[in-house]
Structure 1
Amino acid sequence: MSEQTVVGFDVPLVEAWMAEHTRLEPPCQWVRLEGGHSNLTYELTDSAGEHAVIRRPPQGELLPKAHDMWREFRIIDALYPVGVPVPEPIGYCDDRDVCDKHFYVMGKVAGEALYTAELTAPRLDEEARSRVGESFMSVLAHLHSVVPADVGLDDLGRHDGYVARQIKTWYGSWTASAEAAEYDSPRLHALHDHLVANLPEQGPARVVHGDYGVHNVMVDDSGVIAAVLDWEIGTLGDPLADFAYALNAWAESSDGPLAAATAPTTLPGFASRHDLVGYYADRTGADMSNLGYYRAFNSFKTACIIHGVYARYKLGMKSTDGVDMPALFDRIVVSIDRAEAFIAQ
């Protein structure tokens, strides 16, 4: 890729920094990678043939805590030495003489994230698919076993009140979006009141990913998780909330025709959510008696998030071209339905 087509990086300046501060040997070939929550991400191949990935925030004005490259780098730098599968941290730069935004370089990991059934079916046979669930939960259990103070992450976030703060944040989003969305729900308010009144006592804080799903892990051809990516919202919190999020996001064919047609984990061979609960409980010894609460909390949170997105579309803040607004609205209602069902279990 020519220097003129590299967006967001002054290639000579960045490669000079790499030569001084990393083991990479410029000049490099730069190939843009899609995805990554709009962060500008490139695969690098240096003159010795080593592959790496460089990542920076998007261009333009950003919200204060959005696209936090230092948080991402700091977390993988702490977790890599203790065997949690993350890309190798190679270097971090916050020098504005090199780049207008901070960036980091990490090792390239083999494998691919799982996005759709159509893409996953030809890549993973049933035997490989059968390994994904157990590996997926083994990695999460390993992450949740790490004591933050032991890896220098004791100040990554507050240790207490993780779920309570999340409930407050997302309920605030719901109430602030109700007028623009032209939709409010007494059921959502009742869910909020129930979740607040029945808040479980949180155990020791652990590093939580916040968006742990098969779309954010690299899966090798044998079905083993090679690395966990996208740590931007990683913090300290309640590991059971993190686990329940991953459980909710793991689709099964019984979830409906849309999930069955699109979600990779609905293909034959993938573990069931029941299997995932067993894998995680076996490895952590976690008390699952409040699992229904944590799943309800995550469905409540999902309803609030989608409601906010729906409101922004209604306000014209985002283009609705190609967006199925009725389907988006239905996802709000379905998330409320599921939260109520988890509470009733």
Structure 2
Amino acid sequence: MSGPANPLPVEALADYLRAQGLAGSAPLQVRVLAGGQSNPTYRVTAGEGRDYVLRKKPPGTLIASAHAIDREYRVMKALADTGVPVPRMLHYCESGELLGTPFYVMEYLAGRVLMDQSLPGMEPAERHAIYREMNRVIAALHAVDYRAVGLGDYGKEGNYVGRQIARWSRQCRESTVPMNEAMHCLMDWLPEHLPSGDETTLVHGDYRLDNLVFHPTEPRVIGVLDWELSTLGHPLADLAYQCMAWRIPPSLWRGIAGLDLPALGIPQEAEYIAWYGAATGRDAVGHWDYYLAYNLFRMAAILHGIAQRAADGNAAAEDAVETGAKAGPLAELGWESAQRYTATRK
């Protein structure tokens, strides 16, 4: 069957996949896994033992750097023989002739995608093991020799955080939607307090629980997904992105702040970053509040952009106004982190 969003030409796709050796004579079955503003994603079954995921760019005019499925395919293919679990890449089609836009095909991972970071319904020991595994995988990612796997030109080396701050600040200053005082403070403060000791590794850019596929029964990651924002960047900025969850309450955004973490079996933030430090040899503590302030600012800027699109009348999501309204409270959390950082540097 074909899903309702961006339905695929099933017969033509079946012929194409047969030509690539990815399908036999069995009828092709297609169903939507994700759509909307993300890269439309489908589960494709081409007979027994032939279960794939097809991911394509959305139709229409796109921002040049957005929906970079070619980069997703490239980075996951490069990571195939590393310590970072990724699905096996099977085919990339640059032409838009068949499906309207470029697409790639990868293996389907039969596992669990866990959406709620409090991991409801689990025992404390299992929650603890899930968090331990997430930490192990991001440490493994930052240990990859990106040049050795052919990703030496995957992004710019150095000053990743500085460039990101400049990019998001520029977008915010060009907007017409008002910003709260915390956003203005962060835009001034962040570039003035950039930590010394820059470092470059491969970074995921959106590393969080629901972008991981876990084994059906074991607390083991079998695949890291959604590499659209991956690049060469600063490893601690990448780690702090995930760790914003410890500072954000569930009532505001996807966070775990304020929950009874010991009772749940979820590590405290300090324990989580200590695991990473032990695994990588990096001092994740010294400038920690800076990288948290940066990430909370970045997320606030992203949500502010959604608020701007809602004000302009071209936001796709129905909850764009509600989502955009979260920018201010996130910026306030970021400014709190900035002030903590300043206090510790005196």
How high is the TM-score relative to the length of structure 1? 0.86
1:232-251 counterparts in 2 under 5 A?
232-248=228-244, 250-251=245-246
Quote the sequence identity (%): 31
**Letter matched to residue 64 of structure 1:** A
1:79-111 deviation digits (Å, cap 9, x = unpaired): 011131111111111133333211011111132
Query: Gaps spanning 5+ residues in structure 1: where?
Result: none
Q: Distance in 1 between matches of 2:296 and 2:156?
A: 23
**Is the CA contact 2:252–2:326 (under 8 Å) kept in the aligned structure 1?**
no
- 2:296/2:333 contact within 8 Å kept: yes
Paired residue for 2:212?
Answer: 217
Rate the CA distance shift 1:320–1:217 in 2: closer, same or farther, 3 A.
closer
Aligned residue identity for 2:90:
I
Kindly tell me: are residues 275 and 94 of structure 1, through their superposed partners in 2, closer, same or farther at Cα, counting changes over 3 Å? Answer: same
Judging changes above 3 Å, is the alpha-carbon distance between structure 1 residues 7 and 230 closer, same or farther for their aligned structure 2 residues?
same
1:236-280 deviation digits (Å, cap 9, x = unpaired): 1111111111111x347xx546269x7579571222222210111
Comparing 271-280 with 319-328, greater Cα deviation is found at 319-328
Aligned mate of 1:192, from 183, 187, 193: 187
CA distance in 1, matches of 2:84, 2:250: 35
Structure (1/2) with the larger helix percentage: 1
| Distance (Å, rounded) in 1 between the aligned partners of 2:66 and 2:43 | 22
Superposed displacement of residue 5, structure 1: 5.3
Moved over 4 A (4+): 262-267, 319-323
Residue 299 of structure 1: CA displacement? 1.6
RMSD: 2.8
Amino acid in structure 1 at the alignment position of 2:179 = Y
In structure 2, stretches of 5+ residues that fail to align are none
Count of matched residue pairs: 335
Q: Which amino acid aligns with 2:238?
A: D
Residue of structure 2 in register with 1:140 after alignment? 138
Cα distance, 1:333 vs. partner? 4.4
The 5 A counterparts of 1:1-345 are 1-2=1-2, 7-25=6-24, 27-34=27-34, 38-116=38-116, 120-122=119-121, 124-177=122-175, 180-185=176-181, 187-220=182-215, 221-248=217-244, 250-251=245-246, 255-256=248-249, 258=251, 263=255, 266=259, 268-288=264-284, 289-318=286-315, 322=319, 323-324=321-322, 328=326, 330-343=328-341, 344-345=343-344
What's the TM-score, normalizing by structure 2? 0.86
SS at match of 2:101: coil
| Structure 1 contact 33–41 (Cα < 8 Å) conserved | yes
Deviation digits for residues 128-178 of structure 1 (CA, Å, limit 9, x no counterpart):
21111111011011110011110001111111211110010011112112x
Distance in 1 (alpha carbons) for counterparts of 2:275 and 2:328: 32
Q: Which moved more, 1:201-210 or 1:141-150?
A: 201-210
